[in-house]
Amino acid sequence: MTTLPTCDSMSKNFITVEEALEHILSSVQCIKQYETIDIRRSLGRVLAEDITAPFNVPPHRNSAMDGYAVKLSDISEQEKTTLSLVSESFAGHPYSGVVQAGECIRIMTGAVVPDDTDVVIMQEHVKRTDNLITVSNQHKLGQNIRHPGEDMPKGSLALEAGKQINSADLGLLASLGIGEIKVTRKPRVVFFSTGDELKSIGETLDMGNIYDSNRYTLFGLLQKLDVDIIDMGVIPDQQEAIEKAFEDGSKLGDTLITSGGVSVGDADFVTATLEKMGQVGFWKIAMKPGKPLAFGKINNSLFFGLPGNPVSVMATFILFVRPALQKLKGLSNTKTKQLTAVCDSHLKKKAGRKDHQRGIYFQDENGTLHVSTTGLQGSHVLSSMSKANCFIVIPKDSGDVQIGEEVTIYPFDELI
Ligand code: AMP
Ligand code: MG
**Residue 263 Cα to ligand 2 middle (Å):** 9
What backbone torsions phi and psi does residue 246 show, to the nearest 5 degrees?
-65, -40
What pTM was estimated for this model as a whole?
0.90
CA distances from 335 to 289, 375, 393, 395 (A): 20, 27, 15, 17
Q: Tell me: do 230 and 317 sit in the same domain.
A: yes
Q: Is 228 part of a structural domain of the chain?
A: yes
Residue 305, ligand 1, Cβ within 6 A: no
Q: Tell me: do 179 and 42 sit in the same domain.
A: yes
Which one, of 113, 313, 340, lies nearest residue 215 by Cα? 313
Query: In the prediction, which pLDDT does 131 show?
Result: 96
Q: Is 206 part of a structural domain of the chain?
A: yes
Q: Is 1 part of a structural domain of the chain?
A: no
Q: Is 334 part of a structural domain of the chain?
A: no
Query: If the chain, 416 residues long, is cut into consecutive pieces of 10 residues, what is the mean pLDDT of each piece?
Result: 44 86 96 97 97 97 98 93 98 96 98 97 97 96 97 98 97 98 98 94 96 98 97 91 94 95 67 84 93 93 95 98 97 94 98 97 98 96 98 98 98 96
Q: Which residue among 196, 206, 214 has the greatest number of ligand 1 atoms within 8 angstroms of its CB, and so is best to mutate?
A: 214
CB 35: neighbour CB atoms within 10 A?
Answer: 15
Residue with CA at minimum distance from ligand 1 atom 6: 308
Q: Is 364 part of a structural domain of the chain?
A: yes
Per the structure, the complete domain to which residue 139 belongs is given by: 62-146
Q: Tell me: do 137 and 41 sit in the same domain.
A: no
The CATH number for 371's domain is 2.40.340.10
Q: Which residue among 146, 171, 194 closes a domain?
A: 146
Query: In the prediction, which pLDDT does 415 show?
Result: 96
The residue ranges of DSSP E strands in 130-263, in sequence order, are: 132-136, 145-146, 157-159, 180-184, 188-194, 198-199, 210-211, 228-235, 255-259
Q: Which residue among 136, 158, 184 closes a domain?
A: 184
Q: Tell me: do 155 and 42 sit in the same domain.
A: yes
Q: Tell me: do 378 and 284 sit in the same domain.
A: no
Q: Tell me: do 133 and 172 sit in the same domain.
A: no
Q: Is 2 part of a structural domain of the chain?
A: no
Q: Tell me: do 164 and 176 sit in the same domain.
A: yes
Residue with CA at minimum distance from ligand 1 atom 23: 308
Q: For residues 398 and 348, is the Cβ–Cβ distance under 8 A?
A: no
Domain count, the chain: 4
Q: Tell me: do 217 and 274 sit in the same domain.
A: yes
Which one, of 359, 332, 337, 336, lies nearest residue 347 by Cα? 359
The CATH number for 118's domain is 2.170.190.11
Residue 209, ligand 1, Cβ within 6 A: no
Residue 195, ligand 1, Cβ within 6 A: yes
Q: Tell me: do 190 and 263 sit in the same domain.
A: yes
Residue 308, ligand 1, Cβ within 6 A: yes
**Residue 303 Cα to ligand 1 middle (Å):** 18
Q: Tell me: do 138 and 12 sit in the same domain.
A: no
Residue with CA at minimum distance from ligand 1 atom 11: 308
Q: Tell me: do 198 and 286 sit in the same domain.
A: yes
Q: Which residue among 280, 301, 329 closes a domain?
A: 329
Residue with CA at minimum distance from ligand 1 atom 4: 261
Q: Is 192 part of a structural domain of the chain?
A: yes
CB 238: neighbour CB atoms within 10 A?
Answer: 12
The CATH number for 45's domain is 3.90.105.10
Q: Tell me: do 251 and 375 sit in the same domain.
A: no
Which one, of 233, 236, 248, lies nearest residue 299 by Cα? 248
Q: Is 416 part of a structural domain of the chain?
A: no
What backbone torsions phi and psi does residue 132 show, to the nearest 5 degrees?
-125, 140
Which one, of 294, 68, 257, 53, lies nearest residue 175 by Cα? 53
Atom of ligand 1 nearest to the CA of 270: 3
Query: In the prediction, which pLDDT does 238 show?
Result: 85
Question: Residue length, the chain?
Answer: 416
CA atoms within 13 A on the CB side of 401: 26
Q: Which residue among 221, 259, 380, 383 has the greatest number of ligand 1 atoms within 8 angstroms of its CB, and so is best to mutate?
A: 259
What backbone torsions phi and psi does residue 272 show, to the nearest 5 degrees?
-60, -45
